[in-house]
Amino acid sequence: EGRPTNSKEEVREEWDRPIEFILSLVGCSVGLGNVWRYPYIAFKNGGGAFLIPYFCVYFLIGTPLYFLELSLGQFGSRGTTVAFKMTRMFKGIGWAMAINSFLVTIYYNVIIAWCLFYFFASFRRTLPWSGCDNWWNT
């Protein structure tokens, strides 16, 4: 009632189903490091006993920071470099996150290149890693 009749309402996009939102969050959160390094780190640090401090840190620090970043992005409707300019103290956090994403992308591209190399090398008649008859071996 208090709005002028000629104003245009901003239409915001929404997810069709809540499961799509949850799966997109999982897809962004569970990276290659969680799938690849986690079993090694858990085994090296005590196996099942490692899960107790891991989940404590996850729920006490990781989850609140995750939802803080999620709500900050939704509230600001901007990228990380602009969203963290709310105070001068947080100004560099957005740029640090953008640079970190760029460096992680380079790291993941190297790993994907290894995977593709070994995938296509596995179609050869004799596998390259089946013997030690290279010229640099002794």
Residue 80 tokens, joined: 């990380």
Residue 30 assigned ligand-binding role: yes
Q: Which residues contact 101 (CB under 8 A, 6 or more apart)?
A: none
Residue 34 assigned ligand-binding role: yes
In whole angstroms, how far apart are CA 76 and each of 9, 15, 37, 124?
18, 18, 34, 52
- Please enumerate, by residue number, every residue annotated as part of a binding site: 27, 30, 34
Q: From the annotation, which residues make up the binding site for Na(+)? A: 27, 30, 34
